[in-house]
Structure 1
């Protein structure tokens, strides 16, 4: 159930606090916006509903796609914003507004270079495997390839810059005078309400994946999936937008993930598939073209008996996957089984060993299979590895439409003068449906729109 509302009556006679730039949400978008605004000389305050900054970012691998960065060039990777934009549109079946795609693709490199050079975040490019839909290796991450590491790095940077982040304050009400946001009301854990006046407001708060009612309404095809996102994503931004008459787009778009260890609830990197692994159902049989991507995998896996599948790979692939903390945690928890033969692996996973053996034997080398997937990696070899997985909803991608300055647009196309949005609050670039998610789209929107919103007075 959502709680966001807009109060168009007279604002409080006196606010409890006041600031220049007020930011709702201390995820990647909110903290990037705060750093950007502070750099431009703005007085900044961030409010966060959780006890500490976290958001959906902390649950992800923390990878941000960007084309033409200095880090890419140093690694000998030739890329361009135009090629990046084309990849985004191809994945989303060209359902995105081209201007928005271009905005994100053209500004991503500047954000990565700025965070690296100005604030010392040690980004590097993932160079040992390809992400589905990306024609170049452009995924930038911190050393542990962890969203928690990214959040911690941004929080530490905000602390060094002297920026105020007030936690345990959930924004519930926007005060509107004409088309100007004059402030907000926040609720503390004890139920007390505080009011904060602002000159400009940045919504860096959330999507609506944590609201089962909204998920069922806008994306029924994924409503039975495991909810693997941040529970604070309850849809306040959508509620505020509807009340304000904002232009809201693509509420049926989402980021799913069909490779979440079950019942452990640990994200298994899609590298175990892209490097030559496969998914099988409980009968030991493959059931789809895994090259389509991990978001599409959510529905494909949920459609299998019991809503489960098993990712099958080998130790060569696991060595690549171990750059991700989540994968190492899955190994430590016992989620991943290892065996010297496919038959033994099948027994360990509860799969029919004879069928699984035939399935693995049938994987072609340097050829395209009956599902349309082309295998260009060497065959799986012992020791073999496998993990039981399910499909999950990670984040919604629809939201408030924004302009090139990240200002929220009204239904008629004009912008609210002092209202901005990014991250889960803004409409992303995954098209209208459920198969347009390109790896990293969520963080791409978060950091680019956060950067633009923060530096626009």
Structure 2
């Protein structure tokens, strides 16, 4: 992305801290910088801030929070760090993993107590997909839109100047890599330059940049059907600016996948239906994976099937867990949920071989009864067999969010390849390297927002202190 030398005649406006991107990371950074006494200008390219935060389910994983203590959940930074390293097979950057593990709970408690963000815990997600205990903190409505709206309101109350329709298309810098300001192109095509003492990049990942995806994420080479389910503005600009300024990048092939995107509707299927006893078959009527081993890696499992699709199968009891959630209501209203009274009738609605599906059905019943072992390693014991009215939703695999990015230190300050710090550049959210290691199978549920909020807060604190100094 373009860099330019600092204008000799100065900038149109000077601000202590400029933050680019008004998602969870940028808004959290802005709140922390304001708490640190800095004047903050938060720039968002969209007229209406939404982005990946609004598109998510609004969950952030965090360890050692007051919510956990109130529920008797024994968790701390060491346990979270151990889970991160185990999930990523030791491939997560230890420094970033330790930083997130030690500061995530502090960040959630601070947002609740200082800025009235209405986090609460979702108990249904205890002990799934690599978390040894429940760390799922979300909104009452279980939507990212509520989280995003709450952060925007908190920023306004804190005195953050948020400018929307403001696309940063150029970063100014000195020869030593010090960022001195940005150029902003407004929606009416007017241009202005803004100088700063500290710059925070929170422009999210690069999922919408097809060239960067092709260059860095090779896993999808064998699965050409994948869909990108993320914000169209996630073009990797922040990462590219950081590299141009001399920053190092890491884990660029890491991404969050999801094997339960309703096809062809592009709406997520709430995975509680599977976690609590539902299962997935392909168009041949056969199971093909341990559906609860890896919620991210399941994306590739589905994409490797004929037609790159699968069917999630569940019953009324599992439907009751999700039918009040907005995504499921949308799917039901669109006719995406096929329903029948018998497995044979359901197979007909799915247009899959009834004989194979009935055989799969019988196998799952034996697994639930403890009379057989799952060839894919899933433990069905303790899960009641599906019964009553039955349902199915067709799904495909998707890329939700890239996880690689700029390498940062304990204060979210961007590092050079030699480990030294860039003078005044900070990064968070999808712009910074996350805790997911490499590939698709290191992603912990809610790590995206958990890392965004944690590094965002640290970036804001550090930027404010640097501007003050």
Q: Could you state the TM-score of these two structures normalised by the residue count of structure 1?
A: 0.96
Distance in 2 (alpha carbons) for counterparts of 1:330 and 1:72: 33
Tell whether 2:400 aligns with 1:398. Answer: no
What aligned pairs does 1:184-199 form with structure 2 within 5 A after superposition?
A: 184-199=182-197
Taking structure 1 as reference, are residues 219 and 383 closer, same or farther at Cα in structure 2, changes over 3 Å only?
A: same
Per the alignment, residue 177 of structure 2 pairs with 179
Tell whether 2:398 aligns with 1:375. Answer: no
Per the alignment, residue 235 of structure 2 pairs with 234
What aligned pairs does 1:258-407 form with structure 2 within 5 A after superposition?
A: 258-322=259-323, 324-363=325-364, 364-365=367-368, 366=370, 368-376=373-381, 377-407=383-413
Tell whether 2:454 aligns with 1:448. Answer: yes
Distance in 1 (alpha carbons) for counterparts of 2:84 and 2:316: 32
- Residue-by-residue CA offset, 1:397-439 (whole Å, 9 max, x unaligned): 0000000010000111111121100001000011122211111
Per the alignment, residue 22 of structure 1 pairs with 18
SS in 2 for 1:362: helix
SS in 2 for 1:394: strand
Q: Report the more deviating stretch, 156-165 or 391-400.
A: 156-165
Per the alignment, residue 254 of structure 1 pairs with 255
Per the alignment, residue 2 of structure 2 pairs with 5
Post-superposition offset of 1:241 = 2.4
Is contact 1:144–1:323 with CA below 8 Å preserved after alignment? no
SS in 1 for 2:292: helix
Post-superposition offset of 1:446 = 0.4
Per the alignment, residue 45 of structure 1 pairs with 41
Is contact 1:311–1:389 with CA below 8 Å preserved after alignment? yes
SS in 2 for 1:292: coil
Post-superposition offset of 1:87 = 1.2
Q: 1:438 aligns with which of 408, 433, 444?
A: 444
Distance in 2 (alpha carbons) for counterparts of 1:404 and 1:275: 38
Post-superposition offset of 1:143 = 0.8
RMSD: 1.4
Post-superposition offset of 1:271 = 1.6
Per the alignment, residue 423 of structure 2 pairs with 417
Distance in 1 (alpha carbons) for counterparts of 2:423 and 2:6: 19
Q: Could you state the TM-score of these two structures normalised by the residue count of structure 2?
A: 0.94
Is contact 2:249–2:405 with CA below 8 Å preserved after alignment? yes
Q: Report the more deviating stretch, 172-181 or 217-226.
A: 217-226
Per the alignment, residue 60 of structure 1 pairs with 56
Q: Report the more deviating stretch, 218-227 or 35-44.
A: 218-227
Distance in 1 (alpha carbons) for counterparts of 2:91 and 2:72: 32
Per the alignment, residue 74 of structure 1 pairs with 70
Per the alignment, residue 211 of structure 1 pairs with 209
- Residue-by-residue CA offset, 1:35-81 (whole Å, 9 max, x unaligned): 11111111011000111221211111110011121111212222222
Q: Report the more deviating stretch, 371-380 or 406-415.
A: 371-380
Tell whether 2:159 aligns with 1:166. Answer: no
Post-superposition offset of 1:170 = 1.4
Task: Kindly report structure 1 stretches of 4+ aligned residues shifted beyond 4 Å.
Answer: none
- Residue-by-residue CA offset, 1:206-263 (whole Å, 9 max, x unaligned): 2111011111111132263101011101111222122122111111000111100111
Structure 1 unaligned residues grouped into runs of 5+: none
Per the alignment, residue 151 of structure 1 pairs with 148
Distance in 1 (alpha carbons) for counterparts of 2:81 and 2:332: 36
Per the alignment, residue 123 of structure 1 pairs with 119
Is contact 1:32–1:451 with CA below 8 Å preserved after alignment? yes
Post-superposition offset of 1:159 = 1.8
Per the alignment, residue 408 of structure 1 pairs with 414
SS in 2 for 1:49: coil
Per the alignment, residue 34 of structure 1 pairs with 30
Post-superposition offset of 1:323 = 5.4
